[in-house]
């Protein structure tokens, strides 16, 4: 091994390990019941960000110096079944896609952690927040650098878990918990699609390594080594996964509901990093998209529909966080379109720029009144309402329906509820009724003791809505 290679290995491992160590230490502390002080938590988080960001920059510099475009860091073979040609390993890739993305993750996580330090000062859930935040942070870094689909899935799950838990951060209220659960449910659909895609890939190629699947060339020049039909199958599954994670049509309904947590978590999740993870996944597997034209078309259509409906929703939101959520979604839709069209570098630049801008906007969302006041004063009158040019060309009734569409958030939640959730529940409730009837008949008396328990045994205090 040359000096450069050793350096790459050491630096690479540091980049990956630093958030994991943070998670482990915060997690162990709370498992052992050791109540870390705010200052200690903050210092650990800062150290972790710095220890990860600097090596990432060093790797970038070193790669430019050495002239390589693709570095992999392997953390061992964890399983190998030669007969089945199956193996599983933890592998991390540093290339033109992952380096900017991981640096973005580090930067935004660092900035938002610095913000949170003061914003959540004296807050009862300070430790819980930073623990969940560490889960998210580790998840982002793992999924940005993932070199195999399993590793990506690991990071992806961590992000999803922390996301749902942070939405429900104020767990004494009803709405955050309900919305957190809703987001969690949508994520399950996305995760299921992802998992099936991963299994299919294993089935097709015997391993989950992106390099094998996409050819050996460094991103974005890889060539998918699978047939168009297989690409379509795996690609569609991954598209569903990306749609769930990035709130694309038809899953857009959850995004504004996610604005329940403290402002900084809303900013870093739904303004910037988490919401782009779906797009990142599609970028990562972009060689598959090349392999199948229908798949690319599907990606473009999903992105376009998302962008257009999100912009119509953003126009009618009257609360600042909801409006920013849909504004984010509009851009994510466009990024998906760019990926579908094969404009990968543009998409990457767009992700980075958009994430930074939106984080700033969301972090200062509580300043909205002040900003409006300042703008009104500068202009010297009430702020002009912007009306988009093309909407004026539409007939009145269509425009009104368009308002209704945006106002009802594209009816997406409703349709998911009516067409998926309700039939699903009905199926199981029906089964439950059947079973009850059957057991009642067998025991010749009401067989469910739980039916006799009163609904509110004791009231835990006021319900917070």
Residues 339 to 368 in contact with another protein, rule: CB under 8 A: 346, 349-350, 352-361, 363-368
Residues 6 or more apart whose CB falls under 8 angstroms from that of 183 comprise 163, 164, 167, 254, 257, 258
Is residue 456 involved in binding another protein (CB under 8 A)?
A: yes
**Which of these ranges, 14-22, 219-227, 374-382, 435-443, lies near another protein under the rule CB under 8 A?**
374-382
Per-residue DSSP letters for 133-153?
A: HHHHHHHHHHHHHBSBHHHHH
CB of residue 164 to another protein, shortest distance in Å? 14
CB of residue 82 to another protein, shortest distance in Å? 47
In the list 3, 383, 393, 442, the residue contacting another protein (rule: CB under 8 A) is 383
- Give yes or no for a cis peptide into 138 (omega within 30° of 0): no
In the list 401, 424, 428, 441, the residue contacting another protein (rule: CB under 8 A) is 401
Would you say 22 or 365 has its CB closer to another protein?
365
CB of residue 161 to another protein, shortest distance in Å? 20
Dihedral through CA 25, CA 30, CA 34, CA 37, nearest 10?
A: 80
Is residue 118 involved in binding another protein (CB under 8 A)?
A: yes
Task: Provide the CA 161 distance to its chain's centre, in angstroms.
Answer: 10
Would you say 86 or 173 has its CB closer to another protein?
173
Is residue 392 involved in binding another protein (CB under 8 A)?
A: no
In the list 25, 175, 200, 205, the residue contacting another protein (rule: CB under 8 A) is 175
Residues 6 or more apart whose CB falls under 8 angstroms from that of 303 comprise 248, 333, 334, 335, 336, 337, 338, 339, 340
In the list 84, 371, 432, 435, the residue contacting another protein (rule: CB under 8 A) is 371
Phi then psi for residue 287, to 5 deg, are -60, -30
Site for another protein in 425-454 (CB under 8 A): 454
CB of residue 71 to another protein, shortest distance in Å? 24
Would you say 24 or 464 has its CB closer to another protein?
464
Residues 6 or more apart whose CB falls under 8 angstroms from that of 415 comprise 250
What are the beta bridge partners of residue 93?
Answer: 72
Would you say 89 or 350 has its CB closer to another protein?
350
CB of residue 213 to another protein, shortest distance in Å? 30
Phi then psi for residue 197, to 5 deg, are -60, -45
Site for another protein in 306-335 (CB under 8 A): 307-308, 311, 314-324, 326-327, 330-331, 334
Is residue 407 involved in binding another protein (CB under 8 A)?
A: yes
What span, in angstroms and rounded, lies between the C-alpha atoms of 414 and 421? 10
Give the length of the chain. Answer: 465
Site for another protein in 248-307 (CB under 8 A): 256-264, 307
In the list 2, 388, 443, 450, the residue contacting another protein (rule: CB under 8 A) is 388
Is residue 217 involved in binding another protein (CB under 8 A)?
A: no
Per-residue DSSP letters for 254-278?
A: HHHHTTTS-HHHHIIIIIIHHHHHH
Is residue 111 involved in binding another protein (CB under 8 A)?
A: yes
Site for another protein in 79-108 (CB under 8 A): 107
CB of residue 147 to another protein, shortest distance in Å? 26
CB of residue 207 to another protein, shortest distance in Å? 36
Residues 6 or more apart whose CB falls under 8 angstroms from that of 72 comprise 91, 92, 93, 94, 147, 211
Phi then psi for residue 97, to 5 deg, are -85, -50
Q: How many residues bind another protein (CB under 8 A)?
A: 109
What span, in angstroms and rounded, lies between the C-alpha atoms of 261 and 172? 12
3-class SS of residue 86: strand
Site for another protein in 14-73 (CB under 8 A): none
Helix (H) or strand (E) holding 72: strand 71-81
Greatest alpha-carbon pair distance for the chain in Å reads 82
**Which of these ranges, 83-91, 153-161, 245-253, 416-424, lies near another protein under the rule CB under 8 A?**
416-424
Residues 6 or more apart whose CB falls under 8 angstroms from that of 206 comprise 84, 85, 86, 87
Would you say 379 or 434 has its CB closer to another protein?
379
Could you give the count of Cα atoms lying within 13 Å of 329 in the half-sphere of its Cβ?
35
3-class SS of residue 89: strand
CB of residue 448 to another protein, shortest distance in Å? 16
Would you say 38 or 290 has its CB closer to another protein?
38
């Amino acid at each position: 091994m040359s000096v450069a290679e050793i350096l790459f290995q050491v630096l690479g491992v540091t980049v990956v390990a630093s958030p994991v160590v943070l998670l482990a230490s915060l997690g162990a502390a709370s498992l052992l019941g050791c109540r870390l002080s705010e200052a200690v938590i903050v210092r650990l988080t800062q150290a972790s960000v710095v220890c990860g960001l600097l090596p990432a920059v060093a790797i970038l510099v070193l790669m430019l110096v050495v002239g390589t475009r693709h570095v992999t860091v392997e953390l061992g073979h964890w399983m190998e079944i030669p007969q089945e040609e199956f193996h599983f390993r933890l592998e991390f890739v540093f290339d033109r896609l992952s380096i900017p993305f991981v640096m973005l993750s580090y930067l935004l996580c660092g900035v938002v952690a610095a913000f949170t330090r003061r914003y959540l000062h004296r807050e009862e859930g300070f430790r819980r927040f930073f623990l969940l935040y560490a889960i998210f942070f580790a998840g982002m870094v793992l999924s940005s650098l993932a070199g195999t689909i399993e590793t990506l899935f690991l990071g992806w799950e961590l992000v999803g878990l922390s996301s749902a838990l942070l939405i429900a951060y104020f767990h004494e209220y009803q709405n955050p918990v309900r919305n957190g659960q809703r987001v969690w449910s949508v994520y399950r659909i996305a995760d299921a699609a992802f998992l099936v895609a991963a299994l299919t890939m294993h089935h097709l190629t015997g391993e989950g390594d992106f390099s094998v699947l996409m050819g050996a060339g460094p991103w974005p020049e890889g060539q998918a080594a699978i047939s168009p039909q297989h690409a379509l199958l795996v690609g569609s599954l991954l598209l569903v996964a990306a749609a769930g994670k990035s709130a694309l049509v038809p899953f857009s309904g959850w995004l504004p509901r996610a604005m329940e947590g403290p402002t900084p978590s809303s900013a870093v999740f739904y303004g910037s990093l988490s919401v782009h993870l779906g797009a990142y996944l599609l970028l990562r597997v972009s060689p598959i998209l090349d392999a199948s034209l229908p798949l690319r078309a599907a990606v473009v259509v999903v992105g376009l529909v998302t962008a257009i409906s999100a912009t119509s929703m953003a126009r009618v939101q009257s609360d600042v966080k909801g409006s920013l959520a849909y504004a984010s979604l509009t851009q994510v839709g466009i990024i998906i379109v760019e990926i579908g069209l094969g404009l990968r570098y543009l998409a990457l630049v767009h992700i980075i720029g958009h994430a930074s801008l939106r984080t700033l906007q969301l972090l200062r969302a509580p300043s909205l009144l002040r900003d409006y006041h300042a703008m009104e004063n500068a202009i010297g009158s009430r702020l002009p309402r912007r009306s988009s040019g093309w909407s004026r060309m539409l007939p009145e009734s269509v425009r009104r329906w368009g308002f209704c569409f945006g106002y009802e958030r594209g009816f997406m939640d409703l349709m998911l509820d009516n067409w998926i959730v309700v039939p699903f529940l009905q199926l199981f409730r029906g089964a439950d009724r059947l079973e009850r009837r059957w057991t009642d008949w067998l025991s010749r008396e009401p067989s469910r003791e739980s039916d006799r328990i009163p609904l509110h045994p004791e009231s835990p205090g006021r319900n917070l809505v």
